Amino acid sequence: MKRSNAVTTAACLALMGAVLPTAAMADEWNRKTVITFSGPVEIPGVHLKGWGVLPAGTYVFKILDSQSDRHIVQIFNKEENVVYATILAIPNYRLKATDKTTITFRERPAGQPEALRAWFYPGRNWGEEFVYPKEKAMLIAKETNTPVLYTPAEVPVEVAELPMEKDAPVFLEMKRAPVAAIQPSGDDAVLAEVVTPPPPAEMAVAAEELPKTASYLPLIGLFGLAALGGALLANKAATRA
Whether residue 205 is contained in a domain is answered as no
The answer on 78 and 25 residing in a single domain is no
The answer on 24 and 125 residing in a single domain is no
Q: What is the mean pLDDT of residues 75-99?
A: 90
Tell me what pLDDT residue 58 has: 96
Expressed as residue numbers, the domain containing 131 is 31-198
The answer on 143 and 25 residing in a single domain is no
The answer on 114 and 222 residing in a single domain is no
Tell me what pLDDT residue 1 has: 46
The answer on 137 and 123 residing in a single domain is yes
The answer on 183 and 70 residing in a single domain is yes
Q: What is the mean pLDDT of residues 172-184?
A: 88
Whether residue 203 is contained in a domain is answered as no
Whether residue 190 is contained in a domain is answered as yes
Whether residue 179 is contained in a domain is answered as yes
The answer on 107 and 25 residing in a single domain is no
Whether residue 1 is contained in a domain is answered as yes
Whether residue 154 is contained in a domain is answered as yes
7: amino acid identity, one letter: V
Residue 113 has pLDDT above 80, yes or no: yes
Whether residue 230 is contained in a domain is answered as yes
Q: What is the mean pLDDT of residues 99-103?
A: 91
Show contacts of 21-24: CB within 8 Å, 24+ apart: 21/216, 21/220, 22/217, 22/220
Tell me what pLDDT residue 145 has: 92
Share of the chain above pLDDT 70, in %: 69
Residue 226 has pLDDT above 60, yes or no: no
Whether residue 153 is contained in a domain is answered as yes
The answer on 223 and 174 residing in a single domain is no
The answer on 59 and 9 residing in a single domain is no
Q: Of 198, 161, 224, 237, whose CA–CA distance to 12 is shortest?
A: 224
Tell me what pLDDT residue 232 has: 46
Tell me what pLDDT residue 207 has: 56
The answer on 188 and 78 residing in a single domain is yes
| pLDDT-based confidence at residue 163 (cuts at 50, 70, 90) | confident
The answer on 122 and 109 residing in a single domain is yes
Q: How many domains, the chain?
A: 2
**Lowest mean pLDDT across 78-82, 170-174, 199-203, 223-227:** 223-227
pLDDT digit string, tens, across residues 35-68: 999 999 999 989 999 999 999 999 999 998 766 6
